Chain A
């Protein structure tokens, strides 16, 4: 029994008696000397010969790290990643960062002091310590002062330790058996914990399921996104024709756009495309064609766009001989005025865009019907 004991506790009634016993217990050299008290006793650190707590240094280091982190983070955000000028100050002015640097310093330092003390230095939480299972613990956290001789190796002699503590003035002595090595991680405990977690998940799942099923999701304050409005491509009871999206009023001219070309298509045959054939112009034409014309006329203008039969008409095949022979002006006229089932594009396209897309249609036609000399142009 003695060799399996963990420690011997000597119980004292007053701090004076405890303090008087410490040097004697240390001198006996029977084991490690530790004291257990209800509150901190002054001078006990020196009496037990404890080294100074390293907490101050840890807190200092972490505090400095906190300050630098806050400075770096704020500087990087405000001057590098998301530069923003506030109050006419330079982008990197750091003076305004001081309050947050201070707060973060305190935060880092506090967590280091609190958690570092508990977890790192005192190795808590520790529920399996033998002293917690002793009879003396109710006194330790109340009004008793306990001096412990703790086993350091196999040769610990609990009888001698008990005698030494008695001699040092302990009113009572308690021998603690060696700790159960795994007081917490028994299989029963693990099973119970896992079972508890599983049960909690089950309950939460059922609760959330039934809550969302029985109560319609209450969306607070949705009046900004749920206001009555017209959606493009959606029906609407507001207009007579039941469409959400309306055609522009006839004759509508977009701001900065030339008025719709008037006169017949044949009369426009003589119009000359005012734009040069430069890459810029083709780029504009290509953009307009892909956003405006491609749905109906298809990517190469051969009339195979994604229009379905529901549209009621087939878009013209611009690659056909008829349209390859068309003068520029007639294509321009069709874009501006529309033709039969093709709506007018005048409100959406500026004068430059209209003529640019004409160039592009021409380019498409030529690309689909390329001749040998076209290759030479490229080769040159």
Chain B
């Protein structure tokens, strides 16, 4: 272990991995701290929060219902901006999900042990974000009760889906993403649910947890396969993180619309997704850490590292934006040129500037250690990034579409109340699910954290491969 005095002496102080927890945390105290939430009555603030999110959710559901009755004419989409809020929100929410998968999969493969404490929450947020995301394509098909037509299945109309359409790739990518995330999340939960099963005294809880834990008993023979499965899933999910948003970006990149038809789109979308996702995770974790008294487990160091990831992603975004400008200039294509100038000077130029300042300028604050250690600045940046990333999709979709090749078809797009209502509703759904999750399931992967506590592993065993 790194905490061993002998080894610590050998490694320079600056390279030493700081402790992952604050104060003394033992496996037992961890359980008492984390698994106790579902057993206690939620505090007042939780109810207040839930009331707010439920209100937002029902407003949104009302607007979705209105859309069903009235049709998607209730939205602002018209020629030539056929894609607007629905796709913006879809891309936005799918993107938010990527942080969870990155944390649970890629950082797992890189043996970043700090991920263990925040992985569970981030994975849960992935699942909730994907739920919010899929709402949009479903309601955008116009007749959502026929949405199963998106899948290739034998039917009496003798029609099949077009496998060369990126929109169909999306159907597969998002469904796979959701299934894999859910599987990953559930596998991680099983040992924790087993712990809850064995400590609860309520009969109802015991029954529910017993069923959910599938009779997990912590046998070494089981752990062996379990760890293997977890590793494999991490590897598979890593491919997914990179693929899902790439496929989403194909929806745009494979078309000919100026501003969409660019090879930089897939990596640029993936970076943006991780960027937005981390911002959301930081925001939620700060609240969780404060209100649920988890300061000893989710430390300032976790937030510091995540802020650094945000900063890195912000720089990649900056590069991508510059590259877009460069491509527009270097292509010597007047449509591309016009499209890019629209972003900074057009009718929606303000949106372009909101994007650039929120995504590129404000996150530069995180270069300062002080900003990374202060709630005020990090929340400011996180909120900024969330807004900025939403507007980035607005810029990509609406600005590109509203003035494309045919000047006679140009038109200004205006969203309606319904557009905003549905967006608000998905925020309601997301945070409602987050709040419910925080009360009924372990918010921290106790099993994974136990495995990295000091003295958790036999001391004679090598230090070089911990999970």
CB within 8 Å of B: which residues of A? 14-16, 18-19, 34-45, 48, 50, 53, 55-56, 59, 73-74, 77-78, 81-82, 84, 86-87, 89, 93, 96-97, 99-100, 102-104, 106-107, 109-111, 113-114, 116-118, 121-122, 124-129, 131-132, 137-138, 140-143, 220-221, 223
B456 at the interface (CB under 8 A from A): yes
- Which residues on the B side are within 8 Å of A124 (C-beta)? 214-216, 222
Q: B317 CB to closest chain A CB, in angstroms? A: 24
B467 at the interface (CB under 8 A from A): yes
Q: Mark B144-160, 1 if CB is under 8 A from A, else 0.
A: 00000000100000111
Quick one: given A106-B236, A113-B229, are A142 and B195 in contact (CB under 8 Å)?
yes
Determine if B160 and A77 form an interchain contact, defined as CB atoms under 8 angstroms apart: yes
Which of B224, B239, B461 has a CB less than 8 Å from the CB of A106?
B239
Determine if A143 and B27 form an interchain contact, defined as CB atoms under 8 angstroms apart: yes
Which of B210, B226, B447 has a CB less than 8 Å from the CB of A38?
B447
Determine if B447 and A110 form an interchain contact, defined as CB atoms under 8 angstroms apart: no
B218 at the interface (CB under 8 A from A): yes
B10 at the interface (CB under 8 A from A): no
Q: Mark B220-245, 1 if CB is under 8 A from A, else 0.
A: 11111111110011001101100100
Chain A to chain B contacts (Cβ below 8 Å), 15 pairs: A35-B220, A39-B451, A42-B457, A78-B163, A81-B160, A86-B162, A86-B165, A93-B164, A103-B176, A106-B236, A107-B179, A114-B229, A141-B198, A143-B26, A143-B450
Determine if A44 and B459 form an interchain contact, defined as CB atoms under 8 angstroms apart: no
Determine if A110 and B179 form an interchain contact, defined as CB atoms under 8 angstroms apart: yes
- Which residues on the B side are within 8 Å of A99 (C-beta)? 166, 169, 172-173, 243, 247, 250
Shortest Cβ distance from A79 into B: residue? B163
- Which residues on the B side are within 8 Å of A129 (C-beta)? 215, 217
Most buried by A among B186, B215, B455: B215
- Which residues on the B side are within 8 Å of A56 (C-beta)? 228, 232
Most buried by B among A84, A93, A141, A142: A141
Shortest Cβ distance from B223 into A: residue? A40
B180 at the interface (CB under 8 A from A): yes
Q: Which 8 residue pairs spanning A and B have beta carbons closest together?
A: A143-B27, A117-B229, A125-B214, A35-B220, A96-B164, A86-B164, A39-B451, A99-B169
Shortest Cβ distance from A44 into B: residue? B220
- Which residues on the A side are within 8 Å of B70 (C-beta)? 221
Quick one: given A102-B239, A125-B214, are A82 and B467 in contact (CB under 8 Å)?
no
Determine if B222 and A221 form an interchain contact, defined as CB atoms under 8 angstroms apart: no
Quick one: given A19-B460, A103-B172, A113-B236, are A127 and B222 in contact (CB under 8 Å)?
no
- Which residues on the A side are within 8 Å of B218 (C-beta)? 36-38, 140-141
- Which residues on the A side are within 8 Å of B58 (C-beta)? none
Determine if B215 and A127 form an interchain contact, defined as CB atoms under 8 angstroms apart: yes
Main SS at interface, chain A: helix
- Which residues on the B side are within 8 Å of A121 (C-beta)? 225
Determine if B236 and A110 form an interchain contact, defined as CB atoms under 8 angstroms apart: yes
- Which residues on the B side are within 8 Å of A16 (C-beta)? 458-460
Shortest Cβ distance from A48 into B: residue? B220
Determine if B27 and A109 form an interchain contact, defined as CB atoms under 8 angstroms apart: no
B68 at the interface (CB under 8 A from A): yes
Alpha-carbon distance between A42 and B191 when the two chains are bound, in angstroms: 17
Determine if B215 and A41 form an interchain contact, defined as CB atoms under 8 angstroms apart: no
Quick one: given A38-B447, A220-B69, are A111 and B183 in contact (CB under 8 Å)?
yes
B465 at the interface (CB under 8 A from A): yes
B194 at the interface (CB under 8 A from A): yes
Q: B391 CB to closest chain A CB, in angstroms? A: 28
Alpha-carbon distance between A40 and B222 when the two chains are bound, in angstroms: 9
Determine if B164 and A142 form an interchain contact, defined as CB atoms under 8 angstroms apart: no
Determine if B215 and A125 form an interchain contact, defined as CB atoms under 8 angstroms apart: yes
B392 at the interface (CB under 8 A from A): no
Quick one: given A42-B461, A107-B179, A110-B179, are A138 and B199 in contact (CB under 8 Å)?
yes
B295 at the interface (CB under 8 A from A): no
Q: B144 CB to closest chain A CB, in angstroms? A: 9
Q: Mark B104-133, 1 if CB is under 8 A from A, else 0.
A: 000000000000000000000000000000
Quick one: given A39-B451, A40-B451, A107-B176, are A122 and B243 in contact (CB under 8 Å)?
no
Shortest Cβ distance from A100 into B: residue? B172
Shortest Cβ distance from B239 into A: residue? A106
Q: Mark B194-207, 1 if CB is under 8 A from A, else 0.
A: 11011100000000
Alpha-carbon distance between A97 and B169 when the two chains are bound, in angstroms: 9
B168 at the interface (CB under 8 A from A): yes
Determine if A132 and B217 form an interchain contact, defined as CB atoms under 8 angstroms apart: yes
Q: A122 CB to closest chain B CB, in angstroms? A: 5
Alpha-carbon distance between A18 and B456 when the two chains are bound, in angstroms: 12
Quick one: given A38-B27, A45-B224, A121-B225, are A221 and B143 in contact (CB under 8 Å)?
yes
- Which residues on the A side are within 8 Å of B183 (C-beta)? 110-111, 114
Shortest Cβ distance from B455 into A: residue? A14
Determine if B221 and A34 form an interchain contact, defined as CB atoms under 8 angstroms apart: yes
Alpha-carbon distance between A39 and B70 when the two chains are bound, in angstroms: 54
